[in-house]
Amino acid sequence: MKRKLRFWYATALLMASLLFLAACAGGEEEAPRMPTPTAARQPTGEPIKIGVNIEQSGAASVQGEAYVRAATLWQEKVNREGGILGRPVELVIVDNKSDPTEAAVLTRRLVQQGVVAIVGPGTSPTTLAAMNAILESKIPVFSMGSADSIVVPVEQRPNVFKTPFHASQNVEAILVDMKRRGIQRIGLLTVNNPYGESGLAAWRAAEQRGEVQIVAAEKFEANATDVTPQLTRIMSANPQAVVVWAIPPGAPLARRNAVENLRINVPMYHDAGAGAELFLRLAGQSAEGAFMIHPKTLVWDQIPPTDRQYQVLQEFGRLYTQRYGEMSGFASYVWDALGLLKAAIEKAGSTDPQAIIRSLVMMGEYVGATGVVRMDPRDHLGLSASDLVLVTIKNGKWQLVR
């Protein structure tokens, strides 16, 4: 019996190591090293530490992966180009596992490790749970959460900033297109998690203002495998358009169910969370013709040179797609947060957290990949809905509508 057991453990060990090797091989394949262009000037001295507190596993890990990719890419670029103030940048990337408690603990830990600023947490619940630790730290913190309450009221959030558009701005931009098409009555399908909830709240607010009429609002679970019943309910209310507020795999699933099972023929709008490359991959053929409101990053190669963001988008788009083979809808939020921090540190000429915060709110304009950021002491987001574009999918590619 004992010998048998030993045999099985040996087998398991062998299998585990094989799997491990496979995993390592997979990892290498994913990140081919880019040839390093001649370094501008080797950064020297004490590295500037910036914390990156991200949901690399757990419920919000789909965004988390893109965030970490963007952060890694940014660190390499900046250090190649001479660092910040001539000093190298060191990102301390930690995984909070989408767990609110862990996000709070990690914020304190990063502060203790002497970071000058933190990027993350990346969702609303993790950010709000970490808020106490963030406020006590008094260092600049950028969140990628969607809830407005992360930076509002600004008096109580002196050192908190965020980079993704508010849900209300996404709604505003979709409404512009709906008005153009004469759409008044909509059906709303939101994922039953904090992300969907913030979208639902923003649409309810728009309805209150009389800008739209929500004839049906349904929810679905983030791990749902079929949302046909919800869509059936929505369609029976006869809406002129359907809005889906979800991240992958929910958003592409909804699209597929709508197109393949119900052959819905009204326009379907998705928000920026629907997930770029994952949306295409998971929705397949059915993705054709879906509308998505998004920062210009998805169509970075179609933006005319006259656009203010042209330069930034070219650089970000090229670097990101060369490294990872495809664009991500989420990556630019971290890219911009880090870029803003760099600009602020350079403007302040020091890494003193208070000086960084001062120069962030006094910066005037910063042209980022997500949009043109104009932060001021009253606005710790600084984006305007006019920087969002409407895109659609043609022949498996993102197309700029306007």
Partner 1 sequence: MSEFLQFVASGIGQGAIYGLVGVGFVIIYNVTGIINFAQGHYLMLSALTAVSLREAGLPAVPALLVAIVAGALAGVVTDRLVINPARRHSPLMLIILTVGVAIALEGLALLIWGVNPRRYGPFTAGPPLEVAGAAISRQTLWVLGVTLAMALALWWFFQRTLVGKAMQACAMNRDAARLQAINPAQMSLYAFTMAAAVAGVAGVVLVPITSAYYDMGVPFGLKGFTAAVIGGLVSPFGALAGGLSLGVAEAVGVGYVSSAMAEGVAFTVLALMLVLRPEGLLARVRMRWA
Partner 2 sequence: MGLNRWGFLAFLVGIFGLGVLLIPVADALPFLTRANLVVFALHAIAAMGLTLVMGFAGQVSLGHAAFYGVGAYATALLTAKLEWHPLLAMATGAVMAAILAALLGRVVFRLRGHFLAMATLAFGLVFYVVMRGWDSLTGGNQGTGGIPAFALGGLRLDSDTSMYLFLWGVLMVGIVAARNLIKSRPGRALVAVGASEVAAASVGIDVARAKMSVFALGAIYASVAGSLYAHYVTYVSPDSFGLLPSLRFLVISTVGGIDSVWGAPLGSAVVVLLTEGTREVVPKFVSGATGSYEIVAYGLALVLVLLFLPRGLAGGLALVVQRANEWLRGRERPTPAAVLEEVELR
Q: Which residues bind partner 1 (CB under 8 A)?
A: 5, 8-9, 11-12, 15-16, 19-20, 22-23, 26, 56-58, 61-62, 64-65, 192, 218-221, 223-226, 228-230, 232-233, 236, 248-249, 252-253, 260-263, 278, 281-282, 284
Q: How far is the CB of 225 from partner 1 (least distance, A)?
A: 4
The count of residues interacting with partner 2 (CB under 8 A) is: 38
Instruction: Report the residue number, 55 or 387, with the smaller CB distance to partner 1.
Output: 55
Q: Which residue number, 64 or 317, has a Cβ lying nearer to partner 1?
A: 64
Using DSSP's 3-state secondary structure scheme, residue 213 falls into strand
Q: Does 63 bind partner 2 (CB under 8 A)?
A: no
Largest CA distance in the chain: 76
CB of residue 392 vs partner 2: minimum separation in angstroms?
A: 30
Count of beta carbons in the 10 Å neighbourhood of residue 61? 18
Would strands 48-54 and 117-119 be described as parallel, antiparallel, or unpaired?
A: parallel
Q: Are 184 and 195 in contact (CB under 8 A)?
A: no
Site membership for partner 2, residue 51 (CB under 8 A):
no
Cβ proximity of 182 and 266 under 8 Å = no
Judged by CB under 8 A, which of 159, 193, 328, 332 binds partner 2? 193
**Under the criterion CB under 8 A, does residue 94 sit at the interface with partner 2?**
yes
* Cβ contacts of 146 within 8 Å, gap of 6 or more: 123, 124, 164, 166, 167, 194, 195, 198, 199, 273
**Cα separation of 100 and 96, whole Å?**
8
- Near partner 2 by CB under 8 A: residue from 101, 236, 238, 322: 101
| 108 contacts 133 by C-beta, under 8 angstroms | yes
| The only residue of 13, 22, 24, 205 in contact with partner 2, by rule CB under 8 A | 24
Residue number with CB closer to partner 1 (156 or 236): 236
Task: Give least dist CB 38 to partner 2, A.
Answer: 25
The piece of 102-110, 266-274, 320-328, 394-402 that touches partner 2 (CB under 8 A) is 102-110
Say if strands 397-400 and 117-119 run parallel, antiparallel, or are unpaired: unpaired
Q: Binding of partner 2 at residue 196 (CB under 8 A)?
A: yes
Q: Does 132 bind partner 2 (CB under 8 A)?
A: yes
386, 371 contact by CB (below 8 A): no
Asked if 121 touches partner 2 (CB under 8 A), the answer is no
What is the SS3 assignment for 252-298? HHHHHHHHHHCCCCCCEEECHHHCHHHHHHHHHHHHCCCEEEECHHH
Buried b or exposed e, range 193-232, using 16+ CB within 10 angstroms: bbbbbbbbbbbeebbeeeebebbbbbbbebebeebeebbe
Q: How far is the CB of 168 from partner 1 (least distance, A)?
A: 22
Site string for partner 2, 153-192 (x = CB under 8 A): ---------------------------------------x
Angle of CA points 392, 398, 402, to nearest 5° = 55
Please report how close the Cβ of residue 110 comes to partner 2 at its closest, in angstroms.
9
By DSSP bridging, strand 160-162 and strand 185-191 are unpaired
Kindly tell me which residue out of 73, 104, 243, 385 binds partner 2, with binding defined by CB under 8 A: 104
In terms of C-beta density within 10 A (0-12 exposed, 13-18 middle, 19 or more buried), how is residue 80 classed?
middle
Residues that bind partner 2 (CB under 8 A): 24, 27, 31, 56-59, 68, 72, 94-95, 97-102, 104-105, 108-109, 112, 124-125, 128-129, 131-133, 147, 149, 192-194, 196-198, 201
